[in-house]
Amino acid sequence: MTGSAAPTIRAFEARLIRVPLTRPWAADVTSVGVIATHLVRSDGAEGWGFSWTPQIGAEAVLALLQHDLTPASLGRSAEPGVAWQGLWEHLHEAGGGGLTTIALAGLDLAVWDAAARAADLPVSGLIGRTRDAARVYGSGVNLHYPIDDLVAQVRRWVAAGFDAVKVKVGRPDIAEDLERLQAVRTELGPDRALMIDANQRWGLDRATAALEQLAAVEPAWIEEPLRADDLAGHAELARRLGGSSRIPIAVGENLHTRHRFAEYLHAGAAQIVQPNIVRVGGITPFHGIADLAVDHGAALHPHLLPELSGQLALTLPASLPDPWVEDVEDAGFGALGALRDPSPVLIRHALLTETDHAGLGLRFR
């Protein structure tokens, strides 16, 4: 007897959904764009995935999926990871990363979802779990919060049992950042971790001066201190921060390919990488980035989207430091009512575990 042919992609479709935020991230960021995808394999198995962008580019991602990825993907292998490189090369004319990889994630996630559903497994079970739970930290888009509102947010995180939180920095006056962080540190006490995120607001000299002062609150890391594409600047900042009391540099939410992560790690420009699974193109490249982190002795903490990132965190190589999963206040898909089914993850007492589900368990209303 001969084995059945490997499944191929028979049909693929995408639709755009706007999910309102209950706590806006800024005056002009009141919703996030989700491009929900659906795939049918030649053997009849179905998979669901998504692409995502908070405010800018959702319509462009949808167009790439509908007009470029759909015709290019039909008839290609539906085995996880097999078609990814060829499709990335197909889209490369429109850019090696960014909109193209965000779009490609919508297909890649659906491919993995279909394979796991066909095997009656969660995706983490198909890949292979290396841990049963992942640590979670409280996060928020809070640079615009008055200090009283910021402290109140931190109190909510402490009451919910979080052992670590992340706060935005980058106010016009470094002294104001320090005052806000000192108030946060007072609420947290000495034993909880405090991460800080500049969201690319500083130049090299400004970052150097700011971190000399902000070191007083003992940050666990500084995230995106400089423009995300400033590799040389990050390498120099890492040199300036060297020594036993160095603040680790975290980058990745705006790096879109495995190649960019490799450049940063090879240059010693970051000690922590934070790939966003959607922005890098899906599960297939995410695990390639994890291998890079292992090779360079870096930590990996996935960026945003805990319903997705949490599942993949459970499959990261055991040789990596235990990952942190980011939970932005009032921004989870389940909390926003965007999911058709119960959330595939449960966050309780600052730990994330999976609930009973097949595939990714992420189908949107």
The 10s digit of each residue's pLDDT in 137-147 is 999 999 999 99
What is the overall mean pLDDT for the chain?
Answer: 95
Instruction: State the span(s) of the chain assigned CATH 3.30.390.10.
Output: 9-120
The active-site residue, picked from 38, 166, 168, 234, is 168
SS3 of 311, please?
helix
The active-site residue, picked from 234, 256, 287, 303, is 303
Q: Express each pLDDT in 32-43 by its tens digit.
A: 899 999 999 999
Q: How many CB atoms lie within 10 A of CB 26?
A: 12
pLDDT at 2 over 80: no
Q: What is the mean pLDDT of residues 113-124?
A: 98
Longest dimension (CA), the chain: 74
Q: What is the mean pLDDT of residues 226-254?
A: 91
Q: How confident is the model at residue 91 (pLDDT cuts 50, 70, 90)?
A: very high
pLDDT at 1 over 90: no
Percentage of residues of the chain with pLDDT beyond 70: 98
Q: Express each pLDDT in 42-63 by its tens digit.
A: 999 999 999 999 889 999 999 9
pLDDT at 170 over 50: yes
Q: Express each pLDDT in 253-312 by its tens digit.
A: 999 999 999 999 999 999 999 999 999 999 999 999 999 999 999 999 999 999 999 999
Side chain identity at 330, as an amino acid letter? Answer: D
Q: How many residues does the chain have?
A: 365
Q: How confident is the model at residue 3 (pLDDT cuts 50, 70, 90)?
A: low
Residue 244: the pLDDT is 43
Active-site residue, 301 included = no
Residue 27: the pLDDT is 79
Q: How far apart are CA 1 and CA 12, in angstroms?
A: 31
Q: What is the mean pLDDT of residues 14-22?
A: 93
Q: What is the mean pLDDT of residues 102-131?
A: 98
The CATH H-level (homologous superfamily) assignment of domain 124-354 is Enolase-like C-terminal domain (3.20.20.120)
**Whether 306 contacts 133, CB under 8 Å:** no
Residue 23: the pLDDT is 82
Domain 9-120 classified CATH 3.30.390.10?
A: yes
**Whether 64 contacts 57, CB under 8 Å:** no
Side chain identity at 91, as an amino acid letter? Answer: L
Residue 243: the pLDDT is 55
337 CB contacts (<8 Å, ≥6 apart)? Answer: 365
Instruction: State the span(s) of the chain assigned CATH 3.20.20.120.
Output: 124-354
99, with CB counted inside 10 A (0-12, 13-18, 19+), is buried
100 CB contacts (<8 Å, ≥6 apart)? Answer: 64, 88, 91, 92, 94
